[in-house]
Amino acid sequence: MLTKRRKEILDYIKKYIKENDYSPSLEEIAEHFGLKSRSTIHEHVEALRSGGFLDKLDHQARTIQVAEATKYSGLVEIPLLGTIAAGQPIEAIEDRETITIPKNMIGKSGKHYALKVQGNSMIDEGIRDGSTVIVKKQSTAENGDTVVALLNNEEVTLKKVYKEKNGFFRLQPANNSMKPIFTKKLAIQGKIVQVFRNFEDLKEKINSKATEFTEATVEYMEKTDIDYRKSFGQYFTPRSIREKLINELPNKKINPEILDPACGTGEFLITAEKHFKKPKLYGWDIDKKLVDIAKKNISNAKFKSLDALLNQDCERYDFVIGNPPYYEFSPSKEIKEKFESVINGRTNIFSLFIYQGLKWLKKGGYLAFVVPPSMNNGAYFSKLRKFIINNSNIEYLHILDNPKIFHKALQSTMLIVLKKSENKGNYLFKNNGLSIFSEKADYLKKMFKNQTTLKDLNYTVKTGRLVWNQNKSLLTNNSKGNIPLIWARNISEKQLKLPVLDKKKPQYVKRKDSDIGPAIVINRIAGSVKSKNLKAAVIPSGMKFIAENHVNVIFPPSRQIKMDLGNSPSKNNLTLKDIAKQLSSKEKLGIIENITGNTQVSKTELENLFPITING
């Protein structure tokens, strides 16, 4: 942020350089502002330089320069209206100051203002005590938007907003230790569009777009409606990520033919041109507006506006690169037939680009894509994984830590390089007929040595069969004549906790049918990213119960608490309590996390891919 005085000094320097082709001296700046102290001006100039607004060569006269990012983005002044609570609501304090920020932080339309944040209720969204948020003034919001909300016409708070079916609004904190606020009376005063913690953080945001993308790409991102971009899966990959991926590709060949089949504004081809030796570059995109921008960004590439999924340029290219679109859609009959070997249930368009990419490659060619890591283990991508195994080898796979890489999108991201050759088993883990991809496949193979699984032990896993919000009329906190409903809250690491009464999610259900113990119940969602844990507890023999849909139920092969392993040399008996303890183990959670890549554990993964130790 800039103070009013520093904004004035920066504007003066920019104007002086424009008129004279060189910068003013410190003495000239001081004289212009009627200041006698040269040291005061020096302090302001140093602050502008450290903030990324000015560049200056040390020990040389008249070498102040306006920083490239500042030249590019321009600056705009917006009001700083005061302090807002990211905690319990407080009365807004209107200080009526102003701050100066780059224009490209707020886009082209709408009014904006800034607020200082007090409290840590939104800390998991990166909004900390002392942060500054930029707010777009608006009176409406979508479910899940982070908003400035006015309560009771006098209290203001910063939360995610959700409209509940009962007419209430839920203001949800991004902090597991804090409870949501429910209210019927709510006025939206704006939506959060930017967050920065301090001056250095702002400097990074100022410089990021100018260094990661061409000017034309940034202009397109800022001017184009985000809903339009989402409808075509248009998410632009920053230069640093492109370089990280492209640097994994060999570059000894002269004049390689390189295709980006969803080229957007041509950013990937710009990076490819620098990496390869005299490459022949080709770019396609279904959006003609993007193709026109790409032609201006990189003039020596050949671009076409076409539907890449219908293209048949098989075995022509040495490299297929890029960030294919990512969204689910309902394929036409023609697309279903063409991509039958990789479509399995829901269809995500990026998987079809992987299929096409391997078809377009010459034998021995490389595909390098930015994709979501859900393809590594998701059930809907099982056919895609089989196709990749049958037609290529994984040369490189890396999941990026930051889910906020893409402009106005929150998406986990993975870099993958495939070589069109015989599969060597790299990054591949197989067990019980299931194949998954993992950065730590070798680690998983090691950890599964001398282990068994629930499937091997003839245990079965089922997902809880009652969806509570579809059966609210059947729920009650009256235990008499009713069946215990097992929620995740009932499962502790030591035992089953019953009852745990809750008005909104009652403990019992009015149903005649039920499951009967013995069994193990385990939570399906292993907490948040920062506090992951699996909890399992034993349902006693003979106990009637029904599990809620967010709980998995593990049934033994017989109704006996102990199980004879038969031909096992050690002839050990595993109790349900033994297995439940292993399911709750932090060590085993680390293993399953490397399999699933997230905090959710499906029944299939529990049954087939959870390692069970049999003590000798």
**Rg of the chain, C-alpha, whole Å:** 29
Q: 3-state DSSP call for residue 296? A: helix
CATH number of domain containing 59: 1.10.10.10
**Domain edge (last residue) among 208, 241, 266:** 208
Count CB atoms within 10 A of the CB of residue 119: 23
- The dihedral formed by the CA atoms of 237, 241, 247 and 251, expressed in degrees to the nearest 10: 10
- 369 vs 241, 262, 303, 360, 416, CA distance in Å? 11, 11, 19, 14, 6
**Domain edge (last residue) among 191, 208, 225:** 208
Separation CA 87–CA 173 (nearest Å): 8
> Do 399 and 469 have their domain in common?
no
Q: Is residue 140 a part of any domain in this protein? A: yes
> Do 387 and 299 have their domain in common?
yes
> Do 62 and 111 have their domain in common?
no
Q: What stretch of H or E contains 321? A: strand 317-322
Separation CA 558–CA 560 (nearest Å): 5
CATH number of domain containing 532: 3.90.220
Q: What stretch of H or E contains 118? A: strand 112-118
Return the structure tokens found at 548: 């809620």
Tens digits of per-residue pLDDT, 515-549? 999 999 998 765 443 445 688 999 999 999 999 98
C-beta separation of 275 from 251 below 8 A: yes
> Do 277 and 385 have their domain in common?
yes
pLDDT over 60 at 4, yes or no: yes
Separation CA 262–CA 259 (nearest Å): 9
> Do 239 and 277 have their domain in common?
yes
CATH number of domain containing 146: 2.10.109.10
Separation CA 460–CA 353 (nearest Å): 36
> Do 155 and 194 have their domain in common?
yes
Residue 205's pLDDT band (cuts 50, 70, 90) = low
**Domain edge (last residue) among 39, 66, 93:** 66
pLDDT at 429: 93
DSSP state of 518: S
pLDDT over 60 at 130, yes or no: yes
pLDDT at 115: 86
> Do 136 and 36 have their domain in common?
no
Q: 3-state DSSP call for residue 51? A: coil
Mean pLDDT of the chain: 83
E strand residue ranges, 137-208: 146-151, 155-163, 169-172, 181-183, 187-196
Q: Is residue 442 a part of any domain in this protein? A: no
pLDDT at 2: 64
Tens digits of per-residue pLDDT, 143-202? 888 999 888 776 788 999 998 888 889 999 887 778 888 888 888 989 988 887 655 555
Q: Is residue 591 a part of any domain in this protein? A: yes
Q: Is residue 274 a part of any domain in this protein? A: yes
pLDDT at 260: 97
> Do 31 and 115 have their domain in common?
no
Q: Is residue 435 a part of any domain in this protein? A: no
Tens digits of per-residue pLDDT, 22-76? 778 888 888 888 887 777 888 888 777 766 677 654 434 455 665 544 444 456 7
Amino acid at 481: G
pLDDT at 381: 92
pLDDT at 461: 94
Q: Is residue 475 a part of any domain in this protein? A: yes
> Do 470 and 341 have their domain in common?
no
> Do 255 and 388 have their domain in common?
yes
Q: Which domain, by its residues, includes 258? A: 213-426
List 519's β-bridge partners, or say none: 539
Separation CA 85–CA 398 (nearest Å): 38
- 204 vs 69, 208, 210, 486, CA distance in Å? 10, 6, 10, 48
> Do 278 and 419 have their domain in common?
yes
Number of domains forming the structure of the chain: 4
CATH number of domain containing 290: 3.40.50.150
Return the structure tokens found at 194: 């930017």
C-beta separation of 564 from 570 below 8 A: no
Q: Where do we find the tokens 């990512």?
A: 326
- Alpha helix positions (H), 53-147: 68-73
Q: Is residue 449 a part of any domain in this protein? A: no
Provide the annotated active-site residues: 121, 159
pLDDT over 80 at 323, yes or no: yes
> Do 294 and 382 have their domain in common?
yes
pLDDT at 519: 96
pLDDT at 86: 60
Return the structure tokens found at 365: 């060619």
pLDDT at 378: 81
Q: Is residue 587 a part of any domain in this protein? A: yes
Angle (deg, nearest 10), helices 199-212 and 215-223: 110
Separation CA 493–CA 563 (nearest Å): 22
Separation CA 171–CA 175 (nearest Å): 12
Listed in sequence order, the residues at least 6 apart from 57 whose beta carbon sits closer than 8 Å to its beta carbon are 63
Tens digits of per-residue pLDDT, 349-396? 999 999 999 999 999 999 999 998 889 988 889 999 999 999 999 999
